[in-house]
């Protein structure tokens, strides 16, 4: 995976071309966003943190978006565990530290916020780590779903706890509840290919 650190845009700086496309997944529609340098974002389209598409260009043939779509399809199908698409998320230097650390977590490997804080050299900064994890703009590919509580509790996820439970099950960690305090009951066989969850998407309103 190529991780390109992109600083926040400065006032007066010329706008860059940003493209997007939507793709279906077993857990609902996702929106993929890219710059000319790499994948800028991947959100489920019902996420509150999904930015507005103002200024973005719909492009179904962009090679970066197509690579991301193909790799995500392969991941869900159990044909891929790592991603090769170039990443170009926008964030602060601290957020980039945390997101890079997330990228070192292998398929099925979980880490607590405290463990992640130690990895980035801020052993007392678990709360700040949680904030950066929560602002991860590239779901699944930057695997913030692999971060759990020190007691293995499910904690939170921007895409919703039912999705986090399903993603972790796909990678071999079983949770019987979608409560943020639910603890892992099994660390075993990954569900490959992706096993459809026992709920419908989009969730009933």
**Which residues are the active-site residues?**
144
> Helix (H, G, I), strand (E, B), or coil: what is residue 155?
coil
Question: How many other β-carbons are positioned within 10 Å of the β-carbon of residue 44?
Answer: 21
CA 146 to CA 157: how far, in whole Å?
10
Phi and psi for 32 in degrees, rounded to 5? -105, 135
Instruction: Give yes or no for a contact between 114 and 126, defined as CB atoms under 8 angstroms apart.
Output: yes
Among 54, 52, 14, CA closest to 36: 14
Work out the end-to-end distance of the chain between its first and last CA atoms, rounded to an integer number of angstroms: 37
Residue positions counted in the chain: 205
Phi and psi for 6 in degrees, rounded to 5? -120, 120
> Helix (H, G, I), strand (E, B), or coil: what is residue 163?
helix
């Amino acid at each position: 995976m190529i991780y390109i650190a992109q600083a926040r845009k400065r006032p007066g700086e010329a706008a860059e071309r940003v493209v997007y496309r939507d793709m279906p997944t077993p857990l609902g529609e996702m929106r993929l966003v890219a710059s000319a340098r790499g994948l800028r974002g991947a959100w489920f389209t019902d996420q509150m943190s999904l930015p507005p598409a103002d200024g973005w260009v719909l492009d179904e043939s962009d090679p970066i978006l197509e690579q991301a779509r193909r790799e995500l399809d392969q991941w869900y199908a159990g044909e891929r565990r790592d991603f090769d698409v170039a990443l170009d998320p926008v964030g602060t230097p601290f957020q980039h530290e945390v997101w890079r650390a997330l990228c070192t977590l292998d398929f099925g490997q979980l880490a607590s916020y405290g463990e992640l804080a130690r990895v980035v050299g801020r052993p007392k900064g678990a709360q700040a780590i949680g904030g950066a994890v929560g602002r991860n703009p590239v779901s699944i590919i930057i695997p913030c779903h692999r971060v759990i509580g020190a007691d293995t509790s499910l904690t939170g996820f921007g895409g919703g706890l039912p999705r986090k439970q399903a993603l972790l099950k796909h990678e071999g960690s079983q949770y019987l509840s979608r409560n943020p305090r639910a603890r892992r009951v099994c660390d075993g066989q990954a569900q490959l290919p992706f096993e459809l969850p026992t709920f419908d998407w989009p969730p009933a309103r």
